[in-house]
């Protein structure tokens, strides 16, 4: 067969190789899609177990992970309220899995971005968001509210800031044509919703609705970007010589 080139060590040779990605990037893309979809499915399942008393607008997302039934004390913008989630294990395991997959995905998709500081910062923030998600699952709101709240802020703010920075990391890279603005918008929606949430300005969406407006852009970005990266051709795994077998 015709001679092909092995992949470069990093994205610094992007102009030479065009809109291609390393095979690890494709694996990372699939990881991101799985992370988001399994969390969405787990939310639906846990809501079914919670019953009709659960409100998408009036309940916190974390109510799905409450390990006990009862009224527990809140603090600051997180007032005390009643929660009872019989299938809380499903939610907590799912968000821990999502956090782990996000961290893994960050490591795998690194070379999908040009080698510059914005890549390092953006992916670092995304990894922090994943760690925050892990903390949310390990420390349910009714078990350790302080650690839970800090973890949630890391997940919320880390995700939004990560997307804003990664939007800049996408400049001058043909693989990201059409996705820079999408990434920037997702990050902005996340952060604006977070500011409104902390300020308790729910704009008629309720506390749960506004909290979902924080989470939804990152989940949507993970699915859309994951599908996009998975569809980009990969570099040849090694150099072939003319006449070698397939």
List the structure tokens of 224: 């859309």
Give the tens place of pLDDT for each residue, 208-241: 999 999 999 999 999 999 999 998 887 755 444 4
Span 95-104, average pLDDT: 97
pLDDT score of 245 more than 50? no
Res. 173: pLDDT tops 50? yes
Of 5 and 202, more confident: 202
Domain ranges across the chain: 20-231
DSSP string for residues in 110-160: GGGS-SSHHHHHHHHHHHHHHHHHHHHHHS-TTT-HHHHHHHHHHHHHHHH
- In this prediction, residues 157-165 reach a mean pLDDT of 96
Contact 98, 56 (CB under 8 A): no
pLDDT at 81: 77
Residues 6+ apart with CB under 8 A from 129: 102, 154, 155, 156, 157, 158, 159, 162, 218
Quote the pLDDT of residue 175. Answer: 84
The three-state secondary structure class of 81 is: strand
Are 72 and 65 in contact, with CB atoms under 8 Å apart?
A: no
pLDDT of residue 155: 96
Q: How many CA atoms lie within 13 A of 70 on its CB side?
A: 6
Distances (CA, A) of 120 to 26, 72, 182: 19, 40, 20
Question: What are the residues whose beta carbons fall under 8 Å from the beta carbon of 172, sequence distance 6 or more?
Answer: 114
Q: What is the pTM of this model?
A: 0.83
Region of residue 72 (phi > 0: left; psi between -120 and 50: alpha; otherwise: beta): beta
Above 90 in pLDDT, residue 132? yes
Tokens of 13: 């040779």
pLDDT tens for residues 28-87?
999 999 999 999 999 999 999 998 889 999 899 999 999 988 877 555 555 567 888 899
The encoded tokens of residue 227 equal 């599908």
């Amino acid at each position: 067969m015709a001679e092909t080139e092995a992949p470069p060590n990093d994205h610094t040779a992007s102009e030479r190789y065009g809109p291609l990605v390393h095979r690890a990037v494709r694996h990372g893309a699939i990881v991101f899609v799985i992370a988001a979809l399994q969390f969405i499915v787990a939310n639906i399942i846990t809501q079914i177990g919670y019953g009709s008393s659960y409100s998408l607008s009036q309940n916190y997302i974390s109510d799905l992970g409450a390990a006990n039934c009862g009224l527990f004390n809140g603090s600051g913008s997180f007032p005390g309220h009643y929660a009872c989630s019989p299938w809380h294990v499903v939610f907590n395991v799912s968000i821990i899995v999502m956090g782990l997959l996000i961290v893994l995905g960050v490591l795998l998709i690194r070379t999908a971005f040009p080698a510059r500081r914005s890549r390092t910062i953006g992916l670092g923030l995304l990894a922090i968001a994943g760690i925050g998600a892990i903390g949310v699952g390990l420390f349910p709101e009714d078990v350790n509210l302080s650690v839970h709240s800090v973890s949630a802020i890391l997940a919320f703010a880390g995700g939004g800031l990560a997307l804003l920075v990664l939007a800049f990391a996408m400049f001058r890279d043909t693989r990201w044509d059409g996705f820079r603005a999408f990434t920037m918008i997702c990050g902005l929606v996340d952060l604006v919703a977070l500011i409104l949430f902390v300020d308790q300005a729910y704009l008629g969406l309720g506390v749960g609705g506004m909290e979902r407006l924080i989470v939804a852009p990152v989940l949507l970005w993970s699915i859309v970007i994951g599908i996009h990266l998975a569809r980009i051709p990969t570099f040849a795994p090694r150099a072939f010589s003319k006449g070698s077998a397939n």
